Chains A and B, each alone.
Chain A
Amino acid sequence: MRATVTTDDPITSGLQDLFVRHAPAALRLAYCLSGDREGARDLVQDAFVRVAGRFRYMRQPDEFDAYLRRTIVNLHASRLRRLKVERSSLAREAALPVPAAVEEEHEVRDEMWHAILGLPPRQRAAIVLRYYEDLSERQAADVLRCSVGALNQLVVRATANLRDHIGEEAR
């Protein structure tokens, strides 16, 4: 979807164009990482503000995609770290009965999707970057700020975890 926004201020107009151009792909990436629609929306907003706020889009316009992607992945990882602090309260909430509507929604989703969302954040990011974003090993490693070897380790561990998970579900 492409939103039409007009403004007289060239900087504001340029930023809006930038957002319109990059938001759809960024939202899909954020959703694949988080599995949460509202969370993905916030993630993209925050990442865009961070990257464009530092004028990076002016210095290297061609790199904006890469900057935004990296910022989304990093922001998502740091949000998950913050959530760990609230783990005890989340655990209490998880013990509560699941509302019927949510249960139905979950049924629609497939096992693999659930399994991917259950992976540790960096393994999930590695999987999404390699198999959804179709980044090369080098590009994915750059986004995760790790070596190619470390990225491959993440991917191997992630696929092993998914295989185990799917296998257990099948049993």
Chain B
Amino acid sequence: MNDLEHEIRDALRRHEDDAPTFDASDARRAVDRTRQRQVLNVAGVGICTLVFVIGLVAGLNALGRDRFPTALDSPTVLDRPCPSPTSVATPRPDDAKVRDYWPDTNRNPPGLYSWDGHGDMYHLEGFMHNGYSHRPGEVSIFIGGDPEQLIPHRGQCAIVAGYEGTYRRFIGKRSPSLHQSSLDWDDSSEEWMVDIQGTTVTITLAADPRTPEAQVADAHEIIDSIYVDPQDNDLGFRLIFTVPTNDWDSG
């Protein structure tokens, strides 16, 4: 240390006696302020944590909704009470354009198809999936009818094909209506159950987690398009729906 540095040190040491001293009131004031600050800090941390958790939950919910459309997406899900079924028009099909059958096991062109209580040649229940898409994942639609099937009370109100029914969404498990299906995954599914002229029609949409959103959207579009065409058959009607692409088959 050189002379100047010694001089600096001496000057500082000489003046340390000028420094203020403290008394009990200083300590009390400091402690009171510290306790207030601690309370504010704890409250702040609590609020920040709460905001973070709420944001996290909301974000995860939003991600879930993006992955699998909400009940409000399709076909029409409403808060109770539902509008009267008669208030929704049932369009009359242009018979010439409607195929009088369910999509078969080969590639099917887009257009109007129907379900009259029978599916393809192998099933009574209608089944189709995006078999011809360049898919990393599968999305399937099932339509079945049962006069004795009860519609569960638990679920959201939904209008399908102009009739009031119930919508349920199953996260991480398949719908009960799929219990006998051959799906090899247990991911989320959606289910619409509606009483159409005394027959409980159950429509189920099941999507593999890897299915692109566009493919799931196509499936919702198909369900959205369903309407009732009165027929002289066992059911007394058939359901007509639009298949938007040639990706769909019942194979």
Which residues of A are interface residues toward B (Cβ below 8 A)? 1, 3-5, 11-12, 15-16, 19-20, 23-24, 27-28, 30-32, 37-38, 40-41, 44-45, 48-50, 52-55, 109-110, 112-113, 116, 127-128, 131-132, 159, 162-163, 166
Contacts and interface: CB of A to CB of B under 8 A. Distances in A.
B24 A116 contact: no
B18 A31 contact: yes
Contact of A127 (B8, B10, B24): B8
Interface in B22-78: 22-24, 26-31, 33-35, 37-38, 40-41
A67 B7 CA distance: 28
Interface residues of B, number: 32
Interface of B: 4-5, 7-16, 18-24, 26-31, 33-35, 37-38, 40-41
Looking at chain A's contact residues, is the secondary structure mostly helix, strand, loop, or mixed? helix
Given A23-B27, A110-B14, A28 B41 contact: no
Contact of A45 (B5, B26, B35, B40): B26
Contacts of B21: 1, 24, 27
A19 to B, nearest CB: 5
Nearest to B12: A132
A131 B9 CA distance: 5
Contacts of B22: 1, 3, 19, 23-24, 27, 41, 44
Contact of A27 (B19, B34, B37, B40): B19
Given A15-B30, A31-B19, A110-B14, 11 more contacts: A1-B23, A3-B24, A15-B35, A24-B22, A32-B12, A45-B29, A53-B33, A54-B37, A116-B11, A131-B9, A132-B12
